[in-house]
Structure 1
């Protein structure tokens, strides 16, 4: 007889324990006691459930396949298991076809080592009660798992109720950037990494680029960061694109937690049993029912500390979807910087790209109201080159700084200084706890009184927990300082703002703007919540950021084009007249870039007048004086 060992443990934790080795030793001793040969290969289902039947897709399934193809030769085969529950914990009737057809009737002896029993076709034929005994063992194993499953379900129900009450639960399942500190969820040092990932995605970087950037900088992936909360020596693993997407799609980004509906494991077990039944009837894989998906209840809002608001996160996910499915616009291209942000003032519908060709093949780009296509709006087409010039020249320098990712306010330095202070504070906390811990160790060595020793042991145990927490908090603070230190200096960014603005304007004025530039600016518009509404019939444009009130100004295509060509940011007045155009700017013009005078003195007010219409000119001058500015006239 050839004894083939089959080992199984249900969880990953048991894999690292002694269970597998114990089962191997028991079966080796059993084969020796019986005088049987021991098969050199062990079939081992590690971390595989016998209750769900998953082992039939594991090494038990491999054993059955090897048996069917004659892998074990002509020698009689005994399948050795430590106990019957190592073979299966499934509902008895669900496992019965495997037991009878694929094992017993196929000539396999079932050897239950712990009971010293061997069940074979011959022994059952000689004593029918053996089959009943075998089925009884299987039923007992299933009932034990049912009770255990019921307890786990009750426990999960209590966890679900705690989550719905907003109470911290299951800290081990918290995202890598969130830790449980003093009974409260808190962002840890790894949150800085996730903020960078979010910022890169908002700026238009795809998941592969973000992963490559993180790997180049030697940043550990979220899985490793999570493991290191309990195992500081966990091996670092590289980022992959799917890690980036998994992080960005988590509801925890906006502070919510998903709550799974109960009953998934039960549905999964029933599905596997049904599939096995259908396969025995000869059904093809394509005819089997689909695998049940895990279902979730509504999100529990405001559960974790958020990195983005829910609207910001929803917008980010839409941007990711748009990048993955570029067909949402013609050719996937960002046709203009206000794409998906612009609506019609007449009906509120979105303005979408539309183009036509002239007689010589030239292309004319327009924006057309989606309501017009549905027959609910009469707004005319809007050329978007003038609208693009209007939007760009209405942005203040401060907004452009934000769009370009520049920080001239010193906020980065302040954030870094605060992080360094926090790190030093954490280091001080660790030093204090270390001293108390060392004093406790000395007190334990010197204690003789048993009652005193008991108190000291309890106190030292609490200090050890505080010491570990202090080490983790210091490590988190050090990571945050390192991340902030890698940012480009804000002073350099501030010094380059004028050059960036000037280049930006010149690029768009010459029509040399690229898809990537338009896309990047469009995504930043979305991030700051820019809204654009166009009154095509009235020739005016309303703009607002966030929930602010729309500020309406004339479209003034000629004047705005002039402002774009001259590098004028946010001119005080820009309007087309019957005989020309008028543009007024608060700020000197130097090399085509707006801004303060080189010597730092208060800039003058420049009025560019290309009209002979005295009435129109007077309106512009009056507008300037209303703002307390003294105009300097400059004819064209």
Structure 2
């Protein structure tokens, strides 16, 4: 909808004619509506000698059936200006016919007309060259009422016929597989012989497949759009776009493609009905669901600028131990390491010390063995953890889509309770489906946790590293490194709920982070800041029975225990002061277990 609202700045000192042009659809706007209506206004001005206002009122693609032109459009802005006295009494509002003002029936149309008259403005209908003055006779007023009644009846009839036509077309499509041409999407066209949907050449579906692959690899919408623009790829149907529309890929049109069930062959109508397998699929339904889950996850935790090589793998899940605010990358000064800062610290609301980002990332990837960096580097296929992750993503995406459909039904029923019986069966089916998905998610999460426990039993550091950027053997381009790191970040977000970081430079044991896994379980890594691949200690709180890792040297173990005693006492005191007794008891129990392990080593 394009609406040119009327300017209320101008104040007229003479009687003028104010043209009001309105049409309901963009297609009408491209046709003869404006020329026809403006020509009649100019003819009226020449005939009467009354000048036209400097600016016409235009409601382009705005329906009067629901009163949108009065509520949000130029007509409403004009009425406000008229009531403020910005037009000389005796001026004229020029309309093609009464139905240009409203198609809401006699009472509402009469109210609009009365408001215009109350401002001292007469109404001219150009189609029949009739003028309705504020002091017009009863017959003229009655004629306005009759025209308004007819206009509403026409709109109701048109709406019914349109809906009926669509219903018949889609009922026919269900039987034949032939959809109306307006139901084709950018990468599809109609087979001239069968009328069914086929791919529109090879380039367009290849672009769509590339968009899907990039999303599955963890790239966000801005990065996908930027990649396509850099490659010189034009968006679809650019020749049909209206003037002023972007002639390049945007976040909006990438999102439109990725959210479209036509990707796996289905057509979803606005009324909730689904036509299965009517389009040639680009990807599987499982991959479509994974894309939805990935986009939703990035929307919650991974937003923001990722830098040239996806600098921060922990966007949205890295949190400050003290205040709980997200951790963020801060561009370093020349010659200094990249810092990982608490956002609360940056605005003076937290005392947390920053981390060297490279130290943290190295320690995390070394001792959170559930992140299978080796598999990610080689395509991520084949490993059971990757299979479980993909299945969880697919189910989560299916849950999101089903919940979205359920929410849509609820909103429609709120607006029109009469629809409830017709949606009842579909809503019961949706709820049954949501319950089944919930059970499947529990089973897969249980299997993932079991597999994670087996992986975490290894205390060996993961020595795999990201490749360097360059042209030598084993080196990659900046773009390739970005993709690898994006995929790793995506994998981390499917396994890890959050990571809480704490650093106290006064002690060599002062750097630690705690990983909270999805589905339960914690792991704390006490990092040796000078050698992040050799932590002082690793403790697991996931009921897996996996042994904790503590220093081999008895003296170092005792030093670490003293530090943990002081650190734990401070936090337990805080919990008690703030009434969080359960958290205090849990921390005391964890400390006892850790202390017992160190005592056994020392003895």
Q: TM (normalized to structure 1)? A: 0.47
Q: Based on CA coordinates, which of the two structures has the bigger radius of gyration? A: 1
Q: TM (normalized to structure 2)? A: 0.50
